Amino acid sequence: MACFPFTTPQLSQFRSTKTTKFLSSNEPIHFTEFNGTTRNHQTLYKSYFHSISSLCKDGQIQQAVDLLTEMDSKNFPVGPEIYGEILQCCVYERDLFTGQQIHAQVLKNGAFFARNEYIETKLVIFYAKCGAFDVANNLFSRLRVKNVFSWAAVIGLKCRFGLNEEALMAFSEMQENGFFPDNFVVPNALKACGALQWLGYGKGVHGYVVKVGFDGCVFVASSLIDMYGKCGVLEDARKVFDGMVERNVIAWNSMIVGYMQNGRNEEAIGVFCDMRMEGVEPTRVSISSFLSASANLGAIDEGKQGHAIAVLGGLELDNILGSSVINFYSKLGLIEDAELVFVRMLVRDVVTWNLMISSYVQCGLIEKALNMCHLMRLENLRFDCVTLSSILTAAANSSSIEIGKEGHCYCIRNNLQSDVVVASSIVDMYAKCGRIDCARQVFSSTTNKDIILWNTLLASYADIGHGGEALKLFYQMQLESVPPNVTSWNSLILGFIRNHQLNEAKELFSQMQSLGVHPNLITWTTLITGLAHNGFQDEAVQIFQKMQESGIKPNTISISSVLSACTNVTSLPHGRAIHGYAIRHDLGSQISVSTALVDMYAKCGYLSQAKRVFDNTLSKELPVYNAMISGYALHGQAGEALAVYKHLEEAGIEPDGITFTTVLSACSHNGLINEGLEIFFDIVSKHHFRPSMEHYGCVVSLLSRSGNLDEAIRLIHAMPYEPDAYIIGSLLATCREHNEIELGEHLAKYLLELEPDNSGNYVAISNAYAASGRWDKVIKIRDLMKEKGLKKSPGCSWIQIGEKLHPFFAGDGSHPKTKQIHATLALLGIEMNFSA
DNA sequence: ATAGGGTTAG
């Protein structure tokens, strides 16, 4: 029998008026059932109740409990409403412990209380709100009389535990049992629909809302906007939003969030602006969503204004808003600003730290990232999945297997390796550290493989040119019901390109289209780069044009890629046209484009034009210097190459191995012995760089070309590498020029012992003989090769010039370079015959 | 009722 006049948790929304409302109501208080009730008792009871109520209202829960204990010790009868009041206070304070004490007292007082509908409902609500999942559900299932409020409590609980399906099942069940959902449960149901993206169910709830007239409730309307937003149906979200008579800031925020989370960042920013125009004060939610949208668009001015609005509005930088600001600055590469915000934040949680760590990793500042991890530990915060995936990415990008293994071990110890994102990072780390075997092992031991995990391994095989293995994986993923997406296809294509199987790559490209998978910018760029690097320059340019015809706009990477195909005089006009396109689309000053342009003009022999682009490049980075230096080196202008190298040093940019190789080879080809040696010494003493075999090779060739054969040989002995075929070959080449026949024979013998099956060595030896006019030896070497069944590397064949046989990088006529070579020789008036 | 971080392809 219900004995308490109101049992509405809804009234909790009007907490401050509740007790007065009760005391002024005319409803009877049913404590006549207690013995010896008198007028006096009633007054005293009322004053106890009033005191407990006020204490509860002020959150003085312990004092309220003390009064309750006092009543109990005086054997003063306690009515259900007092327990209810204290329980409600426990709900507010999320005080599970005290609530449990009250529950115990209720049980102690016997069946009247324990089986009181009001108290039972309150207990369900109490346990539900305190997140005691099992207790709340058990009590609920044992309720004799369920009502809208207890249903609402368990549905809300299931929602908070992310059990959205269960929540909706309960929502349906309550209706089947004849209860009509009120406007307090509906938002929970809608939230579950949004989380599950169950648009149909959500629309059903919307229908119900309209039917019973809840659509005027801002809570319900905001939830509808959120639900449609989460389901990606922004048009319907907008309709609800536009139809609202009165909008509160949450409705505005839901609309902004909806657009932002669906990648419609411009519209999110638009709604934010409308909101300000209407004079609605943005909250932290509005600003953090606005900042996310700005970050996604790279909208630097908007985002900075958002930060300013937050500051001016006096909004405290809590974890979430602070993280959004940091995210904005770091996504725009403004890492110093992100650091400033981070330092000024008063509280920092694991997300804030993770953001800084991943920002550093993305900027390649591995040391700083690891230092952040260290500081984070000092603040007693534990690494989570996100921290580890950033650390593993750092290890992958710097090929640091030691850090990678440490990260992997940490994951195993802390059970993080079952997270698919972490698993993908581990697989990628091992692959990028050259341990494809470990990558495969981790992949196999991961139970829940998602498409990204499959794609990670696929990309790993592709990267090392194992197209066949990639293809196997591609079939296997389909057998395991993971349909490949465009990224999978891209890796598959890349796998064959890396193995120089261009026809297979092109075949896959058309296959994917006939299967209805649309190539994206990356697919096209992969193909363009592959064609350009394998001698199919013209086709690369054609593919670039086809890409534009298919409506895909090139970005800086695809432009750089196609420019790398325009490196001969025939394709230069295309290159110039693309240069124009880049300028028209404001991409001409992008560093990667400038670099490609410098490279293109330099390779085509237009050095002054290359220099012009180089000089007009504002913030120069190492690659553009390297392109310029190698351009001069290629055309024998060692002096100019050295000048650019000096410029680079003055700019305070640290050269890399490629810089040294180009500048050393320029010196070597032009006999600039002093300059070359000086640079070689600088590599070690000034740049603290370990010279590679290539660097030694350049100096060996520099020394031997200038006649210092003894010095060259001494250097070979002194270097910390076993001499490779290239270095011996370069020495061999100069032996003939200096008539060092005996040394040459020695080197040739060494070369064949070193790699008896490398056809390149036979070519080098034969070239050396050709240089000294020993055509008989050239023929002998060719016969030796035939005897051993060795084939020349693709693109190299014997060319007969007059009576003389030369090994030549000319091919059998099918190689794309053939045409070029044909033209070059024709210019020299040389007629030629190719032989296989 | 609304808000923040990590993984794959050029």
Closest residue to B3 measured CA to C1′: A285
CA distance A713 to A327: 56
Q: Give me the CA A372–C1' B6 separation in Å, rounded.
A: 15
Residue A1: per-residue pLDDT: 26
pLDDT score for A308: 95
Q: Is the pLDDT of residue A816 over 70?
A: no
Strand B nucleotides within a 7 Å radius of protein CB atoms: 1-10
Among A536-545, A656-665, A696-705, where is mean pLDDT lowest?
Answer: A696-705
Instruction: Please state the rounded mean pLDDT for residues A22-48.
Output: 53
Q: Is the pLDDT of residue A515 over 60?
A: yes
Scan for tokens 């006049």, then name that residue. Answer: A5
Last residue of one domain, picked from the residues A89, A115, A145: A145
Cβ atoms of A418 and A447 closer than 8 Å: yes
Using C1' positions and the CA of A257, the closest nucleotide is B2
Give strand letter and number of the nucleotide nearest A530 (CA to C1'): B10
In angstroms, how far is B9 C1' from A485 CA? Answer: 10
A442 CA → B6 C1’, Å: 18
Distance CA A379, CA A356 (A): 15
Using the C1' atom of nucleotide B9, identify the protein residue whose alpha carbon is closest. A487
- Give pLDDT, residue A3: 28
Confidence at residue A628, expressed as pLDDT on a 0 to 100 scale: 97
In this structure, is residue A261 part of a structural domain?
no
Over the stretch A563-602, which tens digit does the pLDDT of each residue have? Answer: 999 988 888 999 999 999 999 999 988 999 999 999 999 9
What is the pLDDT, as a whole number, of residue A47? 81
Instruction: Provide the residue type at A455 as one letter.
Output: N
Q: Are A482 and A458 in contact (CB under 8 A)?
A: no
Confidence tier at A35 by pLDDT (50, 70, 90): very low
User: Cα–Cα distance between A212 and A272 in angstroms, integer?
Assistant: 31
Interatomic distance A19 CA / B2 C1' (Å): 31
Q: Using the structure, give the distance in angstroms from the CA atom of A202 to the C1' atom of B1, rounded to a whole number.
A: 15
In a domain, A476, yes or no: no
Q: CA A597 to CA A522: how far, in whole Å?
A: 21
| Nearest nt (C1') from A451 Cα | B8
Which of A90, A113, A145 delimits the end of a domain? A145
**Residue A432 pLDDT more than 70?**
yes
- Letter for the amino acid at A193? C
Within a domain: A35: yes
pLDDT at A430 over 50: yes
Which pLDDT belongs to residue A799?
A: 56
Determine the pLDDT at residue A32.
Answer: 39
Closest nucleotide relative to residue A522's CA, C1' based: B10
| Domain-embedded: residue A550 | no
Taking the CA of residue A355 and the C1' sugar atom of nucleotide B4, their distance in angstroms comes to 9
* Least confident piece of the model among A147-156, A252-261, A306-315, A462-471: A147-156
Per-residue pLDDT tens digits for A97-147: 788 777 777 777 777 767 777 787 777 777 777 777 777 767 777 878 878
Quick: pLDDT tens for A729-768.
878 877 777 777 888 888 888 888 888 888 778 877 877 7
Q: What is the per-residue pLDDT for A24?
A: 34
Q: How far is the CA of A808 from the C1' of B10 (A)?
A: 33
Structure confidence at residue A829 (pLDDT) = 52
User: Closest nucleotide to residue A254 (Cα to C1')?
Assistant: B2
What span, in angstroms and rounded, lies between the C-alpha atoms of A706 and A715?
Answer: 14
* pLDDT band per the 50, 70, 90 thresholds, residue A685: confident
Name the protein residue, with chain letter, whose CA is nearest the C1' of B7. A421
Rounded distance in angstroms from the CA atom of residue A357 to the C1' atom of nucleotide B8: 20
Q: Are A813 and A795 in contact (CB under 8 A)?
A: no
What number of residues does chain A have? 836
Residue A2: pLDDT band (50, 70, 90) is very low
pLDDT of residue A798: 59
Whether A321 is in a domain gets the answer: no
- CA A389 / C1′ B6 distance in Å: 5
| pLDDT value, residue A26 | 38
Secondary structure of A234-275 as H, E, C letters? HHHHHHHHHHCCCCCHHHHHHHHHHHHHCCCHHHHHHHHHHH
In whole angstroms, B7 C1' to A700 CA is 45
> A815 pLDDT exceeds 50?
no
**What local confidence, expressed as pLDDT, does residue A33 receive?**
39
How many CB atoms neighbour CB A167 within 10 A? 26
Q: Which residue is nearest to nucleotide B4 (CA to C1')?
A: A320
Distance A264 CA to B8 C1' (A): 24
User: Dihedral of CA A37/A43/A45/A46: which sign?
Assistant: positive
Q: Considering all nucleic acid strands, name the nucleotide whose C1' atom is nearest to the C-alpha of residue A286.
A: B3
Residue at the smallest CA–C1' distance to nucleotide B6:
A386
Q: What is the pTM of this model?
A: 0.78
pLDDT of residue A826: 59
> Which of A145, A165, A184 is the endpoint of a domain?
A145
pLDDT at residue A36, rounded to an integer: 47
Residue closest to B8 C1′ by Cα:
A456
Nucleotide nearest to A187 (CA to C1'): B1
Rounded to an integer, the average pLDDT of A534-551 is: 95
Are A541 and A562 contacting, i.e. CB atoms less than 8 angstroms apart?
Answer: yes
Give the pLDDT of residue A13: 33
Distance B7 C1' – A357 CA (angstroms): 15
In terms of average pLDDT, the best of A35-49, A50-64, A267-281, A670-684 is A267-281
Query: A485 vs A205, A417, A429, A474, A477, CA distance in Å?
Result: 34, 24, 22, 10, 11
Residue A446 lies in a domain: no
**Which nucleotide is closest to A460, CA to C1'?**
B8
Judged by C1' against the alpha carbon of A425, the nearest nucleotide is: B7
Distance between alpha carbon A1 and the CA centroid of its chain, in Å? 60
Supply the range of the domain harboring residue A8.
1-145
User: Any idea which of A75-84, A179-188, A309-318, A545-554 has the lowest mean pLDDT?
Assistant: A75-84
Structural domains counted in chain A: 2
Q: Quick one: pLDDT at residue A5?
A: 25
**Tokens representing A128?**
């539900």
Average pLDDT of chain A, as a whole number = 86
Tens digit of each residue's pLDDT (9 = 90 or more) over A767-799: 777 777 777 787 788 788 888 887 766 555 555
Provide the residue type at A4 as one letter.
F
Banded model confidence at residue A651, pLDDT cuts 50, 70, 90: very high
Q: Specify the DSSP class assigned to residue A555.
A: -
Phi, psi (rounded to 5 degrees) for A7: -125, 30
pLDDT at A548 over 60: yes
In this prediction, residue A763 carries a pLDDT of 78
Query: Residue A110 to residues A30, A31, A80: CA-CA distances in angstroms?
Result: 17, 16, 12
Q: What is the pLDDT of residue A802?
A: 52
SS3 of A28-85: the string is: CCCCCCCCCCCHHHHHHHHHHHHHHHHHHHCCCHHHHHHHHHHHHHCCCCCCHHHHHH
Q: CA–C1' distance A193–B4 (Å)?
A: 23
Which nucleotide lies nearest residue A491, CA to C1'?
Answer: B9
Q: Give residue A334's Cα distance to chain centre.
A: 18
At residue A25 the predicted structure's pLDDT band, cuts being 50, 70 and 90, is very low
A596 CA – B4 C1', rounded, Å: 38
* Residue A794, pLDDT score: 52
The whole-number Å distance from A491's CA to B10's C1' is: 10
In the complex, which nucleotide's C1' lies nearest to the CA atom of residue A253? B2
Alpha-carbon distance of A102 to A712, in angstroms, equals 92
- Give A383-400 pLDDT, tens digit per residue: 999 999 999 999 999 999
Q: Are strands A804-808 and A797-801 parallel, antiparallel or unpaired?
A: antiparallel
Output the six-digit token pair for A436. Answer: 């494809």
Residues near A524 by beta carbon (within 8 Å), at least 6 away in sequence: A543, A544, A546, A547, A552, A558
Q: What is the CA radius of gyration of chain A?
A: 38
User: Whole-number Å distance, CA A151 to C1' B3?
Assistant: 28
Q: Which nucleotide is nearest to A191 (CA to C1')?
A: B1
Check whether A830 has a pLDDT greater than 60. no
Has residue A473 got a pLDDT over 60? yes
Within a domain: A484: no
Mean pLDDT of A156-182: 91
C-alpha A426/C-alpha A445 separation (Å) is: 12
- Looking at residue A14, which CATH number applies to its domain? 1.25.40
Position A15 pLDDT exceeds 50: no
- For residue A783, is it within any domain? no
